[in-house]
Structure 1
Amino acid sequence: MKKLVLALVGTALLIAAAVTYSVNARPDAAEAGPAAQLTLGPGQLLFRQVSTGHVAAVPLAEPGAKPQFSGLKCDRFAVARQTAVCLAVRPGTLPPVTDVLVLDDHLAVRHTEAVPGTPSRARVSPDGRRVDWTVFVTGDSYTATGFSTRAGVYEVDTGRLVKTIEELPVFRDGQRYFAADVNYWGITFAGDGNRFYATLGSKGTTYLVEADYARYRGKTLRENVECPSLSPDGTRVAFKKKVGDGVWRLSVLDLKTLKETELAEPRSVDDQALWLGDRVLYGLDNAVWAVPADGSGRPERLVADAASPAVTG
């Protein structure tokens, strides 16, 4: 048993090292031009340029336009209202450390938190009062899947930090769920900044969790839901569904009926989708794509050399 645990830990460390390398090894290509003073003005599609890591922006109405580039470098990026968040791994740190940068509407840093791990997901609640993130971490002996995560929340309005939501009491079929291997990732908040959804992973199964932030308790809704993204009206969740080893498909779940609609993206998507009206955006193959949320149509590439899309209203 001891040898098995050591082997699993070693595997997790190797995977984490590979993730760290892939983040740190991104090319620092030359700037396309002088860094612009980007702001969170309305009608923008912001994204992380894959080749340089810089945050850039194009008009939503003209995504093919020449981007404006900021001087900000991130591995994950998200915005809502007048708040943005940038996750940036510190180069050369081992174990890896990620800086969570909370930004204002001019992308100036207003708060920083250092968390152990490598960047995975980032979101800002629709009201701009909550910033959340997920990072990959090492050191958990129960990581039979080869990875472990930490999901945290920072309250922009109060300054309160929740380093991890692992202690969130969750009920499954009316009974409190306990397990040593519980992981959470992919938090998404409702417009009230209180109700939120996340993925709970345990014993080889993933669950969609609906939770009350103020009461700090949640319940499972259904299995095989990862990286949920709540629609602006709070009635649907876009998510990735596992269909094979390392293969996910995008779907949308109606939260009232629990009816699932598979989207017209046939490729595997390992991302947390983002809602834009009646479409969802996502990063795939070093580009930002859009697909209708009702299962119709086909994928449309919006921006090349791009990932981590974010939209200003």
Structure 2
Amino acid sequence: MTLQRRILIFAVSLAVLTAVGLIAVLRASSAAHEKDRTRADGPRTDRGDVSLAPDAGGRRIVFRNMAWGPHRDELATVAADAPERARTVSGVSCLRFHAAGGTGICLQADRSGVQDGYRAVVLDARLKEVSARPLAGIPTRARVSPDGHLAAWTVFVGGDSYAGTDFSTRTSVLDLRTGRFDASLEDFTIHKDGKPYRSADVNFWGVTFAADERTFYATMATGGRTHLVRGDLAGRTVTTLRENVECPSLSPDGTRVVFKKRVAGLPAEAPWRLHVLDLASGAETPLAEERSVDDQVVWTDRGTVVYSLPGDFGADLYAVPADGSGAPARLMDSALAPAFLG
């Protein structure tokens, strides 16, 4: 082998070793930067046990963690009276989530097949998978009944925004006691304005359950209008109650619903204001939040509701009194889909 060839081989080997070393340094730097970003840009997260049990460690919030870093999208928990503290993350990822009565419903991406899809996963109190069903579209809403026996979810099957009119949804309800599965509320008998009603353009979304676990409320859209409906799972019927009500959420005492209402004069892409409806009197109360909220609000108790608004890392949570008084207050950064438990 000539001296010139030896020099060439040495130079090539040195270049390869240098490149390998540089890649290792860059990867280590990137990992450290990722860890630093988690600390600098959001709350600290620690891996641990997350429980949905009603009596597990006092009142707390379980939610989708939106903080940037390796635990983004995982279910996390904090004490309800200290939401700014470090989060315990679970390792279970959800795009939409809700829980009650020791049961959770997790709408998540499914990458197990040839093509990516989505599925609805029922979780027990320890976040273990109980059952799962494939979803027909993009996850958007999820709810569990107060005692944890019923789960509902909504997906977009055409279009991807409630702000316009060019979309289609499918809402399903699963009874965890009997296994009965209603794949679409569109199969229920509809009573509109006191008469039977059928139309090809009917859409449902935003189910919220009453304590009797038979009655539910939801949004029905048809003919370019939205309606609050009351549903009967046993009778498989829905009845319209009021126009211009979207994404209702029933209060803990079952007397009111908080909802988003389209208000004339607001931008088409941000048309909603939060209101509370007294179901007995029909009185509506606008809440103090003046920004457009595209969310299915949750109640923390009889007097306060919590909702998401866009934030630096996807979404932040805010709270506002349910009687129209006060002012909105930021509850948590980088969080979405909260469930208040305990």
TM-score bucket (shorter structure): 0.7 to 0.9
* Bigger Rg, which one: 2
Native 8 Å contact 1:210 1:221 kept in 2: yes
Aligned residues between the structures: 281
Q: CA deviation at 1:107?
A: 0.8
Amino acid at match of 1:154: L
Q: CA deviation at 1:96?
A: 6.5
Q: Specify the alignment match of 2:217 in structure 1.
A: 197
Q: Specify the alignment match of 2:245 in structure 1.
A: 225
Amino acid at match of 1:102: V
Partners in 2 of 1:33 and 1:252 — Cα distance?
A: 35
Partners in 2 of 1:297 and 1:94 — Cα distance?
A: 51
2:59 counterpart of 1:47: no
For residue 185 of structure 2, give the secondary structure of its aligned residue in structure 1.
coil
Q: Kindly tell me: are residues 33 and 198 of structure 1, through their superposed partners in 2, closer, same or farther at Cα, counting changes over 3 Å? A: closer
Could you tell which deviates more after superposition, 38-47 or 207-216?
Answer: 38-47
Q: Kindly tell me: are residues 223 and 309 of structure 1, through their superposed partners in 2, closer, same or farther at Cα, counting changes over 3 Å? A: same
Q: CA deviation at 1:90?
A: 2.8
2:152 counterpart of 1:127: no
Amino acid at match of 2:224: G
Partners in 2 of 1:96 and 1:207 — Cα distance?
A: 34
Partners in 1 of 2:155 and 2:115 — Cα distance?
A: 13
Partners in 2 of 1:98 and 1:239 — Cα distance?
A: 27
Native 8 Å contact 2:46 2:86 kept in 1: no
Amino acid at match of 1:213: L
Q: Kindly tell me: are residues 173 and 267 of structure 1, through their superposed partners in 2, closer, same or farther at Cα, counting changes over 3 Å? A: same
Q: CA deviation at 1:172?
A: 1.6
Partners in 1 of 2:74 and 2:173 — Cα distance?
A: 24
Q: Specify the alignment match of 1:152 in structure 2.
A: 172
Q: CA deviation at 1:91?
A: 5.0
Partners in 1 of 2:323 and 2:202 — Cα distance?
A: 32
Runs of 4+ in 1 over 4 A off after TM superposition: 29-34, 91-96
Q: Superposed, which structure 2 residues align to 1:40-79 within 5 Å?
A: 40=52, 41=56, 42-50=58-66, 51=68, 52-79=72-99
Q: Specify the alignment match of 2:304 in structure 1.
A: 279
Partners in 2 of 1:95 and 1:209 — Cα distance?
A: 36
Structure 2: stretches of 5+ with no match in the other structure = 1-33, 39-43
User: Which of 88, 104, 110 is the aligned partner of 1:90?
Assistant: 110
User: Which of 279, 283, 305 is the aligned partner of 2:334?
Assistant: 305
Q: CA deviation at 1:173?
A: 1.8
Native 8 Å contact 1:103 1:111 kept in 2: yes
State the TM-score, normalizing by the size of structure 1. Answer: 0.85
Native 8 Å contact 1:127 1:192 kept in 2: no
Amino acid at match of 1:71: G
Partners in 1 of 2:322 and 2:148 — Cα distance?
A: 24
Q: CA deviation at 1:92?
A: 9.9
Identity fraction in percent: 45
State the TM-score, normalizing by the size of structure 2. Answer: 0.78
Structure 1: stretches of 5+ with no match in the other structure = 1-28
For residue 126 of structure 2, give the secondary structure of its aligned residue in structure 1.
coil
Q: Specify the alignment match of 1:295 in structure 2.
A: 324
